């Protein structure tokens, strides 16, 4: 793939770069299309390439030894994933599956490593992303050990609204996660999440419909329940 073609995707990782910035790297990349619930890679797979989400929606999932599903993240358009295995050459720690029809750009491991080692902007952005992920995981661990399920659901919805730029009064999040997805993300079961969502709705904090959440009172999302 030529540098010009890679830059034409307008991926955030390469924002502001020029073709000459990438000219010293052999870019081995290709597109692929996915059907809903098709697996990109599975937990413990021996694959080491980097992926970019061009369209559609994905989920990163971990299955415990007991068969429990834990949802780690949803990916925004343009996001990349798979860099940990690309760095250390170990098996995948999570599975990533398509939630809908999706289109990906696959960048071969050696091309990614060459970009990281030769293009300072790429190295800085990837490093900053890894640091941010560590901080997020630290916060999530604190929430899991100190907050009730209702508080964790409120914190999750607050983050979701912020990620979508929907923190304003009356903002609506379309294609919102299902109760099962939220439960897998906050360490609860679907019934507990459904009860928490109902309580938040009764308090006038949100209005919830099928995969649609209206934020009625963003400040109340972070308030401890009575």
What is the structure's pLDDT at 25? 93
Mean pLDDT confidence for 133-156: 78
Inform me whether the pLDDT recorded for 162 exceeds 60.
yes
- pLDDT, mean of residues 158-184: 77
3-state SS, one letter per residue, for the chain: CCHHHHHCCCCHHHCCCCHHHHCCCCCCEEEEEECCCCEEECCCCCCCCEEEEEECCEEEEEECCCCCEEEEEECCCCCEECHHHHHHCCCCCCEEEECCCEEEEEECHHHHHHHHHHCHHHHHHHHHHHHHHHHHHHHHHHHHHHCCHHHHHHHHHHHHHHHCCCCCCCEEEECCCCHHHHHHHHCCCHHHHHHHHHHHHHCCCEEEECCEEEECCHHHHCCCCC
How much is the pTM? 0.67
Looking at residue 13, what is its pLDDT? 96
Q: Which residue has the tokens 């914190």?
A: 155
pLDDT category of residue 28 using cuts at 50, 70 and 90: very high
Q: Which CATH architecture has domain 149-221?
A: Orthogonal Bundle (1.10)
The reported pLDDT for the residue numbered 64 is 67
Q: Do domains 3-142 and 149-221 have the same CATH topology?
A: no
Quote the pLDDT of residue 169.
73
The CATH architecture of the domain made up of 3-142 is: Sandwich (2.60)
Q: Parse the chain into domains and list their residue ranges.
A: 3-142, 149-221
Q: Please state, rounded to an integer, the average pLDDT across all residues of the chain.
A: 85
pLDDT for residue 102: 94
3-17, 26-40, 86-100 — which is least confidently predicted?
86-100
Q: What is the pLDDT of residue 94?
A: 83
Instruction: Please determine, for residue 110, whether its predicted confidence score (pLDDT) is greater than 90.
Output: yes
Is residue 10 classed exposed, middle or buried when 0-12, 13-18 and 19+ CB atoms within 10 A define those classes? exposed
Predicted confidence band at 147 (pLDDT cuts at 50, 70, 90)? confident
């Amino acid at each position: 793939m030529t540098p010009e073609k890679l830059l034409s995707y307008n991926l955030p990782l390469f924002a502001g770069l020029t073709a000459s910035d990438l000219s010293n790297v052999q870019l081995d990349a290709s597109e692929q299309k996915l059907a809903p619930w098709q697996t990109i890679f599975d937990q413990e797979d021996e694959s080491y390439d980097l992926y970019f989400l061009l369209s559609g929606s994905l989920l990163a999932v971990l299955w415990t030894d007991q068969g429990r599903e834990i949802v780690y993240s949803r990916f925004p358009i343009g996001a990349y994933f798979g860099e940990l295995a690309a760095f250390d050459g170990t098996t995948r720690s999570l599975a990533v599956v398509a939630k809908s029809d999706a289109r990906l750009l696959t960048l071969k491991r050696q091309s990614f490593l060459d970009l990281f080692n030769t293009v300072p902007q790429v190295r800085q952005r990837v490093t900053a992303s890894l640091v941010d992920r560590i901080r997020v995981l630290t916060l999530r661990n604190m929430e899991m050990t100190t907050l009730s399920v209702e508080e964790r659901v409120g914190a999750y919805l607050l983050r979701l609204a912020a990620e979508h730029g929907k923190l304003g009064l009356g903002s609506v999040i379309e294609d919102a996660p299902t109760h099962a997805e939220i439960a897998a993300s906050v360490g609860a079961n679907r019934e507990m999440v459904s009860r928490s969502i109902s309580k938040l709705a009764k308090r006038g904090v949100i209005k919830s419909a099928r995969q649609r959440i209206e934020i009625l009172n963003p400040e109340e999302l972070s308030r401890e329940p009575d």
